[in-house]
A and B are shown apart, each in its own frame.
Chain A
Amino acid sequence: MRPVLFPTTLAALFDIVEHQPDARLMAGGTDLLVRLRQGPADRRPLICLERMARLNGITTENNTVIIGAATPLSAIIADPLVQRHCPLLARAAATVGGPAIRNMATLGGNICTASPAGDTLPPLYLLDARLDLAAAHATRQVPIAAFITGPGRTDLRSGELLTAIRIPMAERFGLQHFEKVGRRNALAIAVASLAALIRLTPGGRVAEARLAWGSVGPCVVRCSEAEARLTGRRLTSETLRAAGAAARAAVTPIDDIRATTAYRRDLVANLPLRLGAAT
């Protein structure tokens, strides 16, 4: 049998980590349990985070929305603070799996799994999310882009835990867009996704554009070249096409069973065009 542990405080958790260094952390388990099924011989203990009150919940502090790492996505989607200050994140979170999965899957889990197809990641990049990391005797904070280092790889150190995600309340972006293209409308892994935050001048020109693509490289691709093509211009199909072309050159998608590299590049170039219809 595999030991399954349910600490309720950070102290208790770090005590377990110290004594059972091979134990693994489990938040919602929606990813980990699938992988464990594929390796039934693995009997390493699991440390479940679901009873850690400190990791669950959404608060604000100093113009920052703070989301506990083990907060389920369904709670994030429904949360008024998130809806008000970072609706883009709620929109992306709503595309993860299906309702049952969103009730279990957590934001911290989506980050630590570090899948190139993680649906919440492009918005977190655009929102300049910072991560609170805690170890037994130290804490640190890193920007998400520095934390995720590759497919399934993060800067999480041994004995360290992601406790919270901090999202600064940025100036309001009039245009917030998230689109995921998968092989079906729910329970789908992203073939490609686009997150966009765009602020327009009263004259209808782009004051600031933030664009990030998911599932088209080892990590989320935030393309400053594409953003630059939009800045100062109107969101016409020509400028959006130019931004798409820049992004097409910047991404490095893989060929896999879901889609080819060529198709993913087409999506990267095409998806920004939708921003023109949204204004």
Chain B
Amino acid sequence: MDPLQIGQSRPRGDAAAKVAGREPYAADAYPDNRLWARAVRPGVPSGRIVGLACDAALAVPGVVKVLRAGDVPGSNRQGIVHKDMPVLADDRVRCCADAVALVLAESPAAAAAGAAAVAVEIEPLPGVYDLDAALAEAAHLVHADRPGNLLARATIRKGDGADPLARCDVVVEGTFTTPVQAHAFLETESGVARLQPDGTLWMQVSTQSPFRDRFEIGHALSIPYDRIHIEAPCLGGGFGGKDGATVQCLLGLAALHADGRPVKMVWDREESFVAGYKRHACRLHYRLGARRDGTLQALHARIWYDTGAYAHLGAEVMELGMEHAAGPYRIPHALIEGWCVHTHNPTAGAMRAFGVCQVSFAFESMMDLLAQRLGMDPLALRTANALVRGDTNCAGIHLETSTGIKACLAQVARHPLWREREIWRRQAPPFKRRGVGLAAVFNAAGYGGGVRDAAIAKIEMDPTGHFIVHNAVSDMGQGNSSAFMQMAGHLLGQTADRLRIRQPDTRTAYPSGSSSAGRTTYTFGRALTFACETLKSRLLNRAGLMLFLQDDDDLVLEPDRVRHIPTDRSVTLAQLGAMMSAEERVCLGQFVAPTCKPVPDTATGFFIGFPHVIFSYSAHLARVEIDTLSGVVQVTNYLAVTDGGHVINPAMFHQQIQGGVAQGIGYALYEDFITHHGRVRTEDFTTYIIPGALDLPEIVSVACVEETEATGPFGMKGIGEVAMNGPLPAIANGVADAGMGRICRAPLTPERVLDNGVRAPATAQLQK
């Protein structure tokens, strides 16, 4: 067995355990003597609680307690930035997910029966369920202290803003809408908690943010954060939906009232669909102006995000979308306006590509509209306007880090799927039309301005000379812990069998932020490289000591030993492990991600999270075949060329791109989380349709490594999100290319495709 190497395709470190079902997830924890907690969610989207009777529930055999808002110590408010979401609603209910009581019972069945027996009386109040209603004059307010139902209202103005549109040779215009998307992870929100004899609240939970959860739980339940101990085993999927408290505050509350017994909570799929955070639905209005030769001149984008009842990360999602609103292009003048709007719909929050996949649909559709208007090749138009290092992007950020979109587009241009498109298109069978669509997309990495994006990594050698990486950023399936093993093995010259990973534990690891924002492997990985370098130098030093060498020259760290090359004498790691003290065997490394200084004055109304300095880029191509009798769209081939800097593990890189594209194809063609007057209509996977194996083409992923990212570990940057942004616009452009008209409303259901191709005129119009 060879030592692990950066750049090698290797099986994931967790593959065997996961395939064999041995990897422990939070949902798998069944502590002895456990109680089960279940929330009572009346399902009324807007109302006042006028009665709550628990007697009948307490009479249900097996029900131990029924907790209500009055039982919540502390603020009873959770939220990552804005603390506005009650753990248990005390007076008002603002969405169908609001919990008004929490039942503790001896079994899931008793908890369910108890929850059904809680009598809740709610006086319905008026509600606002769409953007227009929420923004109407004198609209009913979701929160009395947020006038106009605006959680946030922000602007980015670059150059002369929208004014130059009046002087452009060509202006294209379009209005787009995007659906709510559910994360649809395999493992629903779940965890166990217990109040320890020493008063510590212990929790093992499916979370992307174990360290920050302590603050959210602590604020809601009035517990000092250092008395909260969180363990975050591998997640069965997260995609942003487990960034911030889901079950945490409810579980903590239950544990406080469980007399020291452990409490377990697992949301079933229906509860997850109702109460889990979702991707924001958006409406986007775009006007894009260019010179006759295709040079982009000015953009005016107005973007409305339906953020639902509570803040969660709504404002930050909108801000990231705005920062990307003009695409990976050089545009001298831009006015980008955003409204983050409360409604009584389920709360929208973080999801892979965090506000960016909505704007990607708009700007990449606009680019095709412009190409069509100008009679230009869509790839040439994109290439001519693509950002390069040294440019200033639409948010006014001077790009000083790796900027690979032009190289990605060049790879697409050389690919047979692009070059042979005409022949392929002409070979469409009867009743089918074929089209090829492109999308050039990007996605920022890191938290952005005003938020500390930092990590503290810990590596330990145990007394037997084996290594433990103390991961502090959750592995939700994306494979960051495998990447960390590969980095540690590479730097320490060790084989895979000598390395173990320990998943996040707030008692033994150190605060390193959340697993999110394309920063997980990047930020923690960089910190880990420093920890590994320190440990390596320490091991060489102690070996030199044991070998009575005058200095550490010519010592090399090899699997299981340190060897002195000139004399071929060595010390085994077991010998070193036995000699070294526990504190000597542990090394920490720290890293703070680069920040933008000075911050340009382009943005107003932003709270935190602006601007970003590192972006991954991607050029996508979709070949689509549309059935003209049914409107069904089949993606027959897909190409994703991605600039993610240097690649740590090619196999895992491609898997993550393929997963992102698959989720993006779902967003483009199938997924539509539908509510009616604030109530969920797509309650489960019968009606919330995600793509299956037969709906996905072979997804060809190509890593475009023209330049590495100097600030990242081994030159990498995060690619977890960018792949999500391409499929919707690439497919919409492909459908238009096939002659089925431009569809501005996602998902592109067969019905919309058929209507658009046959009956209705396109929404987007051309001006001038």
Contact = CB atoms under 8 A, between A and B. Distances in A.
Contact of A185 (B681, B694, B751): B694
A184 B674 contact: no
Contacts of B695: 184-186
Interface in B112-159: 112-113
B197 interface: no
Nearest to B674: A257
22 contacts: A40-B109, A41-B113, A98-B692, A181-B632, A181-B750, A183-B749, A184-B670, A184-B695, A185-B634, A189-B686, A260-B751, A263-B751, A263-B754, A266-B758, A267-B630, A270-B629, A270-B630, A271-B629, A271-B630, A273-B431, A273-B629, A274-B629
Given A263-B751, A271-B630, A183 B692 contact: no
A201 to B, nearest CB: 23
A184 B690 CA distance: 8
B430 interface: yes
Contacts of B655: none
Nearest to A187: B692
Contact of B692 (A185, A191, A273, A277): A185
Interface string B625-650: 00001111010000000000000000
B689 interface: yes
B541 interface: no
Contacts of B754: 263, 266
Given A260-B751, A263-B750, 14 more contacts: A41-B113, A183-B749, A184-B670, A184-B692, A184-B695, A186-B692, A188-B689, A257-B681, A257-B682, A259-B751, A263-B631, A271-B630, A273-B629, A277-B431
A258 interface: yes
Given A257-B674, A274-B629, A184 B682 contact: no
Name the residue in A191, A257, A271, A273 with the highest tally of chain B Cβ atoms < 10 Å from its Cβ: A257
Nearest to B752: A263
Contacts of B674: 257
A184 B632 CA distance: 9
Of B112, B629, B749, most A-chain CB atoms within 10 Å? B629
A161 to B, nearest CB: 28
A165 B201 CA distance: 62
Chain A binding surface SS class: loop
A186 B694 contact: yes
Which range contains the number of A residues in contact with the other chain? Answer: 20 to 34
A40 B692 CA distance: 29
A181 B632 CA distance: 8
A185 B634 CA distance: 9
Nearest to B758: A266
Contacts of A185: 634, 692, 694-695
- Classify the interface of chain B: helix, strand, loop or mixed: loop
A257 B689 CA distance: 11
Contacts of B755: 263
Interface of B: 109, 112-113, 430-431, 629-632, 634, 670, 674, 681-682, 686-687, 689, 691-695, 749-751, 754-755, 758
A259 B753 CA distance: 13
B366 to A, nearest CB: 28
Contacts of A277: 430-431
Interface in A166-222: 181, 183-189, 191
A183 B749 CA distance: 8
A69 to B, nearest CB: 25
A128 to B, nearest CB: 28
Contacts of A98: 692
A181 B112 contact: no
B689 A184 contact: yes
Contacts of B670: 183-184
A41 B691 CA distance: 33
A188 B693 CA distance: 13
Contacts of B631: 263
Nearest to B754: A266
A257 B431 contact: no
Contacts of B681: 257
Interface in A241-279: 257-260, 263, 266-267, 270-271, 273-274, 277
A41 B379 CA distance: 60
B112 A40 contact: yes
Given A40-B109, A266-B754, A273-B431, A257 B629 contact: no
A277 B693 CA distance: 28
A277 B749 CA distance: 25
Contacts of A187: 692
Nearest to B693: A186
Contacts of A181: 630, 632, 750
A125 B586 CA distance: 74
A184 B694 contact: yes
B562 to A, nearest CB: 53
A267 B112 CA distance: 43
Nearest to B690: A184
Contacts of B686: 189
Contacts of B630: 181, 267, 270-271
A41 B758 CA distance: 49
Contacts of A271: 629-630
B601 to A, nearest CB: 47
A96 B207 CA distance: 37
Nearest to A260: B751
B627 to A, nearest CB: 9
Pick from B632, B682, B751 the residue with the most CB of A within 10 Å: B751
Interface in A118-154: none
Contacts of A186: 692-695
A217 B621 CA distance: 40
Nearest to B696: A185
A237 to B, nearest CB: 10
Contacts of A259: 750-751
Interface string A43-66: 000000000000000000000000
A132 B755 CA distance: 44
A183 B689 contact: yes
Contacts of B431: 273-274, 277
B604 to A, nearest CB: 41
4 smallest CB-CB distances across A and B, nearest first, come from A185-B694, A270-B629, A277-B430, A263-B751
A32 to B, nearest CB: 15
A137 B629 CA distance: 50
A266 B695 CA distance: 23
A200 B329 CA distance: 60
B64 to A, nearest CB: 20
Contacts of A191: 750
A274 B630 CA distance: 11
Contacts of B750: 181, 183, 191, 259, 263
B694 to A, nearest CB: 4
Give the residue among B430, B630, B681, B689 with the most A Cβ atoms within 10 A.
Answer: B630
Interface string A220-250: 0000000000000000000000000000000
Contact of B687 (A258, A260, A266, A267): A258
Contacts of A263: 631, 750-751, 754-755
Contacts of B682: 257
Nearest to A264: B751
A273 to B, nearest CB: 6
A191 B694 CA distance: 18
B687 to A, nearest CB: 5
Nearest to B755: A263
Contacts of A260: 751
Nearest to B630: A181
A263 B758 CA distance: 12
Contacts of A267: 629-630
Contacts of A41: 113
For B112, B632, B691, which residue has the most chain A Cβ atoms within 10 angstroms? B632
B260 to A, nearest CB: 30
A271 B687 CA distance: 24
Chain B CB count within 10 A is highest, among A266, A267, A271, for A266
A40 B681 CA distance: 21
Nearest to B429: A277
